[in-house]
Chain A
Amino acid sequence: GESVGLHLPTLSVQEGDNSIINCAYSNSASDYFIWYKQESGKGPQFIIDIRSNMDKRQGQRVTVLLNKTVKHLSLQIAATQPGDSAVYFCAESTSSGGSYIPTFGRGTSLIVHP
């Protein structure tokens, strides 16, 4: 079946380094993608989104890259801080039927060492 998956379940970085979290998706019909951050004991929070008509979108210290050719999504965090330590989820959805009901990947745990 269609699925969203992550290459690295855990990513450890040093404070100040740039982090790259990867996500592979398999549904070629997906046209909307979101990255969420989940801190321990809390619900996921929206970070950034991107539609399939774009290949790059930037936010504050974060950049999402979309490669539709290989069905790959990445989240880049610049100058990673200890407060960035969390689990990061990518989610894909399709506008088929107008519902945009997302499918979430397993998540990557980002650990930032001071």
Chain B
Amino acid sequence: NAGVTQTPKFRILKIGQSMTLQCTQDMNHNYMYWYRQDPGMGLKLIYYSVGAGITDKGEVPNGYNVSRSTTEDFPLRLELAAPSQTSVYFCASSYRTGKGNTIYFGEGSWLTVV
């Protein structure tokens, strides 16, 4: 099973450039998320989506945009890359159930802004 797939795995951007991190999941999960993880730190929520056509800001949304046109895909857009956006980005997905939701993560995308 593919699970959650992110691309690219590694990317170097120049300050001011734009790019899109792609994320797709094949588990028919309704919830999808984007997190960033800085060195030695925990995961911070950037944006999340509870279903196609619905997105919400997380803890650190500034400098990012998302869209959710299908259940499977949840791309993350960086418009004007800044050095502060150097981080590891994780896409994730889950079901929402009355018992909580176990989140399944992708392998991560390492982004460096120089």
Contacts and interface: CB of A to CB of B under 8 A. Distances in A.
Interface residues of A, number: 26
B18 interface: no
A77 to B, nearest CB: 19
B100 A32 contact: yes
Interface string B9-32: 000000000000000000000000
B96 A45 contact: no
A95 B90 CA distance: 23
B43 A34 contact: no
Contacts of A89: 42-43
B103 A46 contact: yes
B108 A42 contact: yes
B90 to A, nearest CB: 5
A46 B102 contact: yes
B43 A51 contact: no
A105 B43 CA distance: 7
Interface residues on B, range: 20 to 34
A98 interface: yes
B50 interface: yes
Interface string B70-102: 000000000000000000001010001011111
Given A44-B43, A44-B90, A106-B42, A100 B108 contact: no
A2 B102 CA distance: 21
Contacts of A44: 43, 90, 103, 105
* A-B complex: 5 closest residue pairs judged by Cβ atoms: A43-B105, A32-B100, A104-B43, A104-B42, A106-B42
Given A42-B108, A43-B108, A93-B100, 14 more contacts: A34-B102, A34-B103, A44-B105, A45-B105, A51-B100, A89-B43, A99-B50, A100-B96, A100-B101, A101-B45, A101-B58, A104-B35, A106-B41, A107-B41
